[in-house]
Structure 1
Amino acid sequence: MQTPVPRTLVVATSASVPGLEAAVQAGTHQRIDYLELTSRFKSCYVDHGLVRPHRPLCYLESLIRLDLRLALQVAQLVRYRDYQVVISLSERAGIPLALVLPTNVRHLVIFHHGMSKQKLRLIRALRLQQRWDIVAAISQAEAQGMCSELGLAKDRVVALHTPVDTEFFRPIQSTQKATVVQSLGASHRDYETFIRAMSHLPHIPCHLRIGSSWVSGAGMLKHDVLPANVSLQPFVPPDHLRICYLQSRIVVVPIRASTQWSAGCTSVQIAQAMGRPVIATRRPGLAEYVIEGETALLVEPGNVEEMATAIASLWDDPDRAEQMGKAGRRLMEERFTIDRWLDRVEELTHWMVDHPIAR
């Protein structure tokens, strides 16, 4: 029998949207990781709503991509309310928290860009890796890379793939017909390669929906002339986003080659959860979110001809596309549900409480 989890604080690194909890309860928004964690642990969460505006510090944070103000506020809150465990849902807060959290507080930090050369250099220079009880990367490839780069014990670095709400994002009966190829999202997207590929396929209609809840897509294509078969669509909220996926015969997730190995994983997961076949760029982390040849086709970064060929092959073979979509749905249900993710975070939290490291 596991012992109760000590007082736990969950650190989210985005500001809460007003009415978000009500939207989740009403079924118009997918479940949110930090809300689910606080419910599971009967604890509290903090986000950017905790910090006061400070223009110089805000500018510095945008340059170094670290949430310094949030980390300082969290450290004060931990001391004041005697929290014993902190779960940082991003390294943006987790890195500076390594410097300011009391050493007796257990700390799990989730890295979304774990192979960033700048971050790795900073961590090594300040020896921050010794201040985290568990480092969780969002792919096995990144977990292995961080373990090697930082000289961490293998039991302190784990893969914790991002989850998807498979109840919210699921295939449903609809009058919407799957009539387009669609690409969605903004982070680290290689839309130049995708648009060039679509220009070779003038008979296939395509929707580009650039933007996300975290990244604005404004201006990404302002200097590009789109082919006649490609139309730019507005960003939509989650309940409308499901309709966009229902309209998609194929979902394409083109990613730039960079150290952001798992960029695009959320779009890939949602597409598969909605029963749609995926074409994505082959990246070490992103590849772990699909089964190549079964739920998705992977193409090399920047290869216009390979991407065009992959799109045409699925467009011209609707039976294969349908089977890939069904396989993708099974994959999400079996491996990537938000409840499985919550179970794993709870397991890791108990483990690090029972196995504290010497600092």
Structure 2
Amino acid sequence: MSDQLPRTLIIATNTSMPELAAAVRDGKHQRVDYLELSTRFGSRHIDYGIVRANPILQRLEAWLRMDLRLAWQVLQRVRRERYQAVISLSERVGIPLALLLPRNVRHLVIFHHGMSEHKLRLIKGLGLQRRWDVIAAISQAEAEGMRQALKMPAERVVALHTPVDTNFYRPQPATSPASVVQSLGLSHRDYPTLIQAMRRLPHIPCHLRVGSSWVSGKAGYENETLPTNISLQPFVPPERLRNCYIESRIVVVPIKASTQWSAGCTSVQAAQAMGRPVIATRRPGLREYVVEGETALLVEPGSVEQMVTAITTLWDDPVRAEAMGQAGRQLMEERFTLDQWLMRVETLVQWMVAYPKPYSQFSNVTITL
């Protein structure tokens, strides 16, 4: 750890499994961003594990989509242990913390849904943008959108693409030929479009592996009649998930058209890191995680025709599919590794602590990642 790194508290918006660190160490789980940040900063992280149950507040938090109880616990830790900086790994805790943290504590918040009209109205109405030192959006498109909507200078809103553990997710020898189209994930998925496309391709087997470690709810396929070539598969832990990618001839990530511009990025990244060709929906943020035509084929939201064409193209041309998979692996190694992400976060934190001035005085300051 650099001597210049400030005393920093890492805020994770989930509940850590007790055995998570051991699973990472044993190679059964990918490296985790908040654990790696804690190590890098020689600091600690906190998560929902410190929050007391409160049914009334839980319902309010679910409605607001904000972590009020966690934010309050963070405030107590910051006051008691004199942290200089806080990294909020989601706006769910970053928004309430903007109202709670002392002005002298530097605050970096990572936005996963930065173009939500509701959130933007709330931020502007309360002037919260003046309370964050750095906003990091998970795509350049969302960073630019937030800058314009909040009328903030470019150095205050930056792109910080999500990372992938390219050592955990890496190409591996297959024990049998990749034989299925596979679609994974839950958040903002457009499974009805994929189902309609697969109905037109009865000779191609497809696995829907619906689930998420981060969110819950319906996936959108529940009201659909599945054709015989589609089978529902259980959600599996990361160690087994790698085998699912290995058996996939093509990985499809269909996304709804919404303000969640980067939904599906982690599935797209893991697939490419595993050397698999990807078909995904063309969304402003998600498209930054692929090179269209080289590592993935993109289709317009809700277009069954384009989905059919894309699947047929790669299924019927295994040489091209293999080349796209190899290019995807190279892309992940060059631009999206977890270690690269950690270095960028460290740079952001060092920068914002080095210039502890009022918001209005940052207009001529630049930052290079």
TM-score if structure 1 supplies the norm length? Answer: 0.98
Distance 1:97-1:199 versus aligned 2 partners, 3 A rule: same
Match of 2:56 in 1: 56
Could you tell me how far apart the structure 1 residues matched to 2:297 and 2:245 are? Answer: 17
Q: Contact 1:9–1:45 (CA<8 Å) still a contact in 2? A: yes
SS in 1 for 2:242: helix
User: 2:282 matched to which residue of 1?
Assistant: 282
Q: What pairs up with 1:224-243 in 2 under 5 angstroms?
A: 224-243=224-243
Provide the residue aligned with 1:68 in structure 2: 68
In the alignment, which residue of structure 1 is the partner of 2:90? 90
* Cα distance in 2 for residues equivalent to 1:58 and 1:341: 32
Contact 1:176 1:243 in 2 (8 A): no
Please state if 1:102 is matched with 2:122: no
Q: Which residue of 1 aligns with 2:363?
A: none
Instruction: Kindly report the root-mean-square deviation, in angstroms, between the aligned alpha carbons of the 2 structures.
Output: 1.0
Q: How does 1:1-359 map to 2 (within 5 A)?
A: 4-216=4-216, 220-358=220-358
**Cα 1:121–1:202 shift into 2, 3 Å:** same
Q: Show structure 1 runs of 5+ residues with no match.
A: none
- Residue 356 (structure 1) shift: 1.9
Percent sequence identity over aligned pairs: 68
Cα distance between partner residues in 2 of 1:176 and 1:217: 34
SS of the residue 2:232 aligns to: strand
Deviation, structure 1 residue 153: 1.3
Amino acid at match of 1:241: L
Q: TM-score, normalised by structure 2?
A: 0.95
Give the drift of 1:3. 5.3
1:43-74 CA distance string (max 9 Å, x none): 01000011100001000110110001100110
In structure 2, the gaps of 5 or more residues are: 360-369
Give me the whole-angstrom Cα distance separating, in 1, the residues matched to 2:219 and 2:137. 31
Output the CA distance in 2 between the equivalents of 1:123 and 1:217. 27
Structure 2 distance, partners of 1:319, 1:153, is: 46
Matched to 2:82, the amino acid is D
Inter-CA distance 180–198: structure 2 relative to 1 (3 Å threshold): same
Alignment-derived partner of residue 362 in structure 2? none
How many residue pairs were aligned?
Answer: 358
Q: Please list the CA deviations of residues 132-166 of structure 1 after superposition, one character each: whole Å capped at 9, or x if unmatched.
A: 00000000000000000001111111000000000
How far the C-alpha of 1:90 sits from its partner, in A, is 0.3
SS in 2 for 1:164: coil
Name the SS of the counterpart of 1:306 in structure 2. Answer: helix
* 1:205 aligned partner, one-letter code: P
Aligned AA (1:233): Q
1:76-117 Cα offsets, whole Å, 9 max, x none, are: 110011001000000000000000001100000000000000
Q: Which ranges of 4 or more aligned residues in structure 1 deviate by more than 6 Å?
A: none
Is the 1:210–1:217 Cα contact (8 Å) retained in structure 2? no
- 1:219 shift after superposition: 6.8
Please report how far the alpha carbon of residue 217 of structure 1 lies from its aligned counterpart in structure 2 after TM superposition.
5.6
- Give 3-state SS (helix, strand or coil) of 2:267's partner: helix
